């Protein structure tokens, strides 16, 4: 007798399910696991998870820390301290820049709400 559902059908359905569920989990974790990219001279130094509460690193004179899911330039050897005054950032597209030390930190991800550029 011809079976309506064969072993192969089950395998195909399972494979689709596994791929789908894995995709959803991946997307979901990307959503929760927000990251920041730290650059020196425009080159990526490190990508940091904003959940990594122990993170603290001195990048070319700028001390970058994660605190309560936000990232901050705690100290800097630069004269103007513009980076330190920027405070904590956590929204996609936000950034901290230390021009004298050529260090930048940017929260990853697209945010349509942010303008294309800033003047000032």
Partner 1 sequence: MNMGGEKVKIKKYILPVLAVILIISIFIFSLLSEKTKDVTVSDFAMGSPVNVTVYGEKNGDEHCNLAIKRIKFIDNSYLSHTVSSSAVYTLNEKKTLISDMWFADYLENCVELSKESDSFTLFSGEFKDLWKIENGGYVPTDDEIAKVLDSHKNASLSIDSNSISLNSGKLDLGALGKGTACDEAIKVLQKRNVSNALVTVGGTVGVIGSPDGVGSYSIGIRNPFGSQIEYFAILNVTDCFVSTSGDYEKYFECDGVRYSHIFDAKTARPVQSDITAVTVVADNGTLSDFLSTVIFIEGVEKGFEIADEFDAEILIVKKDKSVLVSEELNDKLTIRDNSFSVSVIE
Residues of the shown chain interacting with partner 1 in the complex, contacts defined by CB under 8 A: 2, 6, 8-9, 12, 16, 39, 41-42, 79-80, 82-83, 85-87, 89, 94-97, 99-100, 102, 104, 114-120
Closest CB 109 distance from partner 1, rounded Å: 14
The Cα–Cα gap between 58 and 76 comes to: 9
The Cα–Cα gap between 58 and 64 comes to: 6
**Residue (10 or 32) nearer to partner 1, CB:** 10
**Residue (9 or 28) nearer to partner 1, CB:** 9
The Cα–Cα gap between 83 and 76 comes to: 8
Residue 11 has what DSSP assignment? H
Closest CB 102 distance from partner 1, rounded Å: 4
The Cα–Cα gap between 120 and 118 comes to: 7
């Amino acid at each position: 007798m011809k079976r309506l559902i064969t072993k192969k059908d089950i395998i195909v359905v399972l494979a689709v399910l596994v791929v789908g569920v894995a995709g959803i989990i991946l997307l979901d974790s990307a959503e929760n696991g927000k990251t920041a990219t730290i650059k020196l001279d425009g080159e990526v130094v490190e990508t940091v998870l904003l959940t990594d509460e122990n993170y603290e690193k001195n990048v070319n004179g700028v001390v970058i820390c994660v605190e309560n899911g936000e990232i901050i330039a705690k100290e800097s050897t630069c004269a103007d301290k513009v980076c330190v005054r920027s405070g904590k950032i956590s929204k996609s597209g936000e950034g901290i820049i230390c021009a004298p030390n050529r260090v930048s930190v940017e929260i990853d991800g697209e945010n349509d709400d942010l303008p294309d550029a800033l003047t000032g």
